[in-house]
Amino acid sequence: MAQGGTVRAVTDPAGESREPAVTKPVDTDGVRTVTIGTVLWAVALVVLLLFRGRLEAAGNGWWVWTCLAGTGLGLLGIEYTRRRRDAITRVRRYRAETSTSQPAGRGSTPGDEPTGGAEAQNGSATSADS
């Protein structure tokens, strides 16, 4: 999309002008993706443990350790993406609550103080001390 919300026509290889397909961004938090990857690493680990003797004999015993590392890092990834998802949810909920309860343009994000708030009080206190 071009600036201002207009859609520019696209010229295809045949030289014909057409409108591009409108797509929406995927809103994903990554938890499902990381979980599926972790499960796949864990399944591979179990399968390779069944054939550990053959792998060692062929000089591929490190495959087991690779699967173990993939599973461990995947577990860390699951925890990270869950915390990230929860934090994003909290911010969205906070913004929704503050946008409906406050007048437009005043303190719309966490930490914003309206004019004459804590910063003004701190500023007057320090100027009085000087």
Q: Where are the domains of the chain?
A: 28-102
87: number of Cβ within 10 Å: 10
pLDDT of residue 58: 96
pLDDT of residue 20: 73
pTM: 0.58
pLDDT of residue 105: 54
Q: Write out residues in the chain with pLDDT < 50, as ranges.
A: 1-3, 108, 112-130
Closest CA to 108 of 119, 95, 117, 118: 95
Question: Is residue 69 a contact partner of residue 124, using CB atoms and an 8 Å limit?
Answer: no
* Burial category of 107 from C-beta neighbours within 10 Å (exposed 0-12, middle 13-18, buried 19 and up): middle
pLDDT of residue 121: 44
- Residue 116: what are its φ and ψ, rounded to 5°? 90, 10
